[in-house]
């Protein structure tokens, strides 16, 4: 299992508020609508794959919101700060796990 650093252990768990989750959900929905519009138009093939992959990540984030697991790191389980989710709303990892290159499959 992933070993948390002493600093991370001391950090208080700060979960997202309902308002923050709703704000991020709306942001993800808007992005998904934009991606679908781009995929429906005559988009160059190089962008189509990127848009399709991005759509899959956005849909997965919306599923995590519905399941109640959104905002928790898939590697260490710690809450992902709201500020990070504002920048990358479909992320599955906290800054520490991302910086260390950890992936969810490496956590066990």
pLDDT in tens, 35-68: 988 887 777 776 788 888 999 999 999 999 999 9
Write phi, then psi, for 76 (nearest 5 degrees): -105, -15
Domain ranges of the chain: 6-107
- Name the pTM for this structure: 0.77
Residues 45, 108: Cα–Cα separation, whole Å: 37
Averaged pLDDT of the chain: 84
- Specify the range with the lowest mean pLDDT, choosing from 4-13, 26-35, 47-56: 4-13
Portion of the chain with pLDDT greater than 70, in percent:
81
pLDDT at residue 57 in the model: 96
CA dihedral 57, 63, 65, 69 (to 10 degrees): -90
**CATH for 6-107?**
1.20.120.910
pLDDT at residue 77 in the model: 92
């Amino acid at each position: 299992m992933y070993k948390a650093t002493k600093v991370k252990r001391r950090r208080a768990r700060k979960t997202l508020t309902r308002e923050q989750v709703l704000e991020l959900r709306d942001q993800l929905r808007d992005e998904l609508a934009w991606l679908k519009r781009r995929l429906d138009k005559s988009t160059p093939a190089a962008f189509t794959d990127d848009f399709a992959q991005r759509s899959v990540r956005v849909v997965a984030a919306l599923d995590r919101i519905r399941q109640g697991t959104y905002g928790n790191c898939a590697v260490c389980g710690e809450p992902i700060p709201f500020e990070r989710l504002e920048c990358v709303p479909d992320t599955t990892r906290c800054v520490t796990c991302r910086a260390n290159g950890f992936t969810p499959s490496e956590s066990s």
